Amino acid sequence: MPTNLELKARYPSPREAQACAAALGAARSGLLIQQDTYFRIPRGRLKLREAEGETAELIYYERTEESAERWSRFTREPVTAPAGLVHVLTEAFGVLAVVRKRRELYIFRDARIHIDDVEGLGTFVEFEVTGGETPASVATMRELRNAFGIGEESVIKVSYSDMILEKRISAGP
């Protein structure tokens, strides 16, 4: 499975994140309106990602949740009939959570910069360095963190799906 280095953090505003990306020289690659349906599985995470105007993807990934910067192993498969697949996976495993977001995508070297507005949760930046488990990936992540001013206090160590579940539990019945 491919491996990338990831970091997610709360961010004050999309405008501030856009300004940081521009100052870094990252290239804007587009706007994505996404819905991720997470399924209950025994290990790792399985989600169906649907994005307006894009082919849906089934994505399985495994990563630790202990540190700010996390290595993630993943595999992706295009899906031509997402509604049918959601039905089958819901019957087989059940839905854990649904995450809806507006994502601005920027590219910086071998990294993807996501500026996310997540429904019900707020604004975040997410970095995915795709160069594998190498010192160069770690150096790129450090450069991104510095450019965006990401401190430990703003880092999120869980998935958006975990945050949605926590919010649902906190709200009560």
pLDDT digits (tens, 9 = 90+) for 39-49: 999 999 999 99
Q: Which of 40, 46, 42 is nearest to 59 (CA)?
A: 46
Quick check: 78 and 67 in contact, CB under 8 A? no
Quick check: 89 and 114 in contact, CB under 8 A? no
What pLDDT, on a 0 to 100 scale, did the predictor assign at position 169?
77
In the chain, where the domains are located: 3-171
What pLDDT, on a 0 to 100 scale, did the predictor assign at position 87?
97
DSSP string, 140-161: HHHHHHHHHT--GGGEE-S-HH
Report the alpha-carbon distance of residue 54 to residue 165 in Å, rounded: 27
Q: Which residue has the tokens 């819905």?
A: 35
Q: Which architecture does CATH list for 3-171?
A: Beta Barrel (2.40)
Residues in a beta bridge with 33? 102
What pLDDT, on a 0 to 100 scale, did the predictor assign at position 172?
67
Q: Residues 8-29: what's their mean pLDDT?
A: 96
90-147 residue pLDDT tens: 999 999 999 999 999 999 999 999 999 999 999 999 999 998 889 999 999 999 999 9
pTM of the model: 0.92
